[in-house]
């Protein structure tokens, strides 16, 4: 049983309007706080989340209550609020007793505000959509070495990736391990069919369209993966001295939002018609062959109806379009609309040696203008990927260091 004896002295002196708890039907426990706030919890949830040592293993944060003997079938007999301990106490029909700290309950309130606060502060920071006129305002720069050395800078960088969708790191050394080092600073590199790091340069016998000097149209990497790479870390070692080789970038979530607002029917087609994305080949002469294939719409929504992933890569779209013929025709029109909207929002900038351009690969459409290598100047980038599971996890450990002590 939890004891609050150490708190009694402190709270005895405060005597204000008191907090009340009561059983409210059907199956709801209500707490009216002294300030007028009403907190509500399903009884079944309270029982399911009993914090006693019998029901909950605190050090592993694991529920261990026996599902078979509850919580669905055991009702609360009575509830009370202990003002001195600031605890809700619940006596259950099977003689079990649960005690919940008020602060713990407040954080888990089922009201809209508390739920949204948790989603925004702990789950994922809300994204900030942007069009090309806002580019300078959303653009964030950090020094490479600061990201490696300082947790506050690492946190700010990861927040920029989560919120604005991209960031530029400056002054990285002329070293092929920069992208790998950044991935490992976050957590773990994502290995793909292109290796754990990949080199973007013009190659003879190129196995991928990106390894040519031609313009690279707006795309996201790896639409052909179910577990698509979360962020792309692109370190510029050598930039082209020719006019081209510039990055193009568009906020794909913004484009999808605009399309949803302006052309809802075409948006519906784009989010519902699956496209076959594929990648067949081998990376380099010695590497193992691959045959990647993933069927998914251009715009993917989550359970809340929010856009969570954009799939777009003209060079990786299979000619096998396995949908009914009417859908195929409607899809082409919707796709054309999407790409036109995207092209209107393109920003262009050219990285310099030592720049590391990092962006959310689920969100940002990116490309490159055509360039020309010369014998003395061969454009050379090294890239690596990291998954969002790893990034959000790292971000939460930085934001809430006390949570995993």
Contact range with Zn ion by CB under 5 A, out of 23-31, 42-50, 192-200, 357-365: 42-50
Q: Is 55 in the site for Zn ion (CB under 5 A)?
A: yes
Of the residues 50, 76, 257, 299, which one makes contact with Zn ion according to CB under 5 A:
50
Residue 357 beta carbon to Zn ion: minimum distance, rounded to whole angstroms: 52
Residue 5 beta carbon to Zn ion: minimum distance, rounded to whole angstroms: 20
Contact range with Zn ion by CB under 5 A, out of 54-62, 242-250, 290-298, 369-377: 54-62
Listed residue (70, 33, 31) closest to 49, CA to CA: 70
Contact range with Zn ion by CB under 5 A, out of 50-58, 154-162, 175-183, 392-400: 50-58
Of the residues 4, 23, 44, 52, which one makes contact with Zn ion according to CB under 5 A:
52
Contact range with Zn ion by CB under 5 A, out of 17-25, 48-56, 244-252, 325-333: 48-56
Contact (CB, 8 A) for 98 and 76 = no
Rank residues 71 and 383 by Cβ distance to Zn ion and give the closer one: 71
Residue 56 beta carbon to Zn ion: minimum distance, rounded to whole angstroms: 7
Q: Is 99 in the site for Zn ion (CB under 5 A)?
A: no
Residue 96 beta carbon to Zn ion: minimum distance, rounded to whole angstroms: 6
Residue 86 beta carbon to Zn ion: minimum distance, rounded to whole angstroms: 19
Residue 91 beta carbon to Zn ion: minimum distance, rounded to whole angstroms: 12
Residues 185-244 that bind Zn ion (CB under 5 A): none
CA distance 150 to 157: 11
Contact range with Zn ion by CB under 5 A, out of 52-60, 130-138, 141-149, 328-336: 52-60
Rank residues 53 and 322 by Cβ distance to Zn ion and give the closer one: 53
Q: Is 129 in the site for Zn ion (CB under 5 A)?
A: no
Number of residues that bind Zn ion (CB under 5 A): 4
Residue 107 beta carbon to Zn ion: minimum distance, rounded to whole angstroms: 19
Residue 61 beta carbon to Zn ion: minimum distance, rounded to whole angstroms: 15
Interface ranges with Zn ion (CB under 5 A): 50, 52, 54-55
């Amino acid at each position: 049983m939890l004891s609050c004896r150490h708190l009694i002295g402190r709270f005895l002196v405060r005597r204000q309007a008191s907090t009340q708890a009561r059983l409210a039907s059907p199956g709801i426990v209500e707490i009216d706080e002294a300030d007028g706030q009403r907190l509500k919890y399903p009884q079944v949830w309270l029982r399911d989340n009993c914090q006693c040592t019998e029901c909950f293993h605190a050090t592993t944060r694991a529920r261990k209550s026996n599902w078979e003997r509850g919580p669905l079938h055991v009702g609360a007999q009575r509830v009370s609020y202990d003002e001195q301990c600031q605890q809700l106490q619940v006596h259950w029909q099977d003689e079990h007793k649960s005690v919940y700290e008020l602060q713990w309950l407040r954080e888990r309130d089922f009201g809209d505000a508390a739920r949204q606060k948790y989603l925004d502060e702990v789950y994922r920071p809300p994204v900030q959509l942007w069009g090309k006129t806002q580019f300078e305002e959303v653009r964030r720069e950090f020094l490479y070495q600061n990201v490696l050395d300082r947790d506050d800078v690492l946190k700010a960088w990861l927040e920029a990736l989560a919120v604005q969708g991209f960031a530029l790191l400056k002054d990285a050394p002329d070293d092929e391990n920069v992208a790998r080092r950044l991935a490992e600073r976050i957590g773990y590199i994502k290995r793909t069919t292109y290796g754990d790091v990949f080199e973007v340069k013009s190659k003879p016998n190129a196995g991928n369209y990106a390894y040519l000097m031609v313009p690279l149209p707006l795309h996201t990497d790896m639409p052909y993966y179910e577990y698509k790479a979360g962020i792309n870390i692109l370190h510029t070692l050598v930039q082209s001295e020719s006019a081209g080789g510039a990055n193009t970038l568009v906020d794909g979530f913004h484009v999808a939002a605009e399309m949803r607002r302006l052309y809802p029917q075409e948006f519906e087609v784009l989010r519902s018609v699956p496209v076959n994305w594929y990648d067949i080949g081998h990376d380099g002469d010695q590497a193992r062959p691959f045959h990647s294939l993933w069927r998914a719409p251009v715009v993917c929504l989550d359970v809340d109806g929010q856009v969570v992933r954009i799939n777009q890569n003209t060079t990786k779209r299979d000619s096998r379009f396995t949908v009914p013929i009417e859908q195929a025709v409607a899809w082409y029109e919707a796709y054309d609309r999407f790409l036109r909207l995207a092209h209107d929002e393109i920003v262009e900038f050219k990285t310099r040696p030592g720049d590391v351009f990092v962006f959310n690969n689920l969100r940002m459409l990116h490309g490159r203008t055509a360039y020309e290598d010369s014998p003395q100047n061969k454009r050379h980038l090294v890239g690596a990927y990291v998954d969002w599971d790893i990034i959000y996890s790292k971000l939460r450990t930085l934001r809430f260091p006390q949570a995993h002590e």
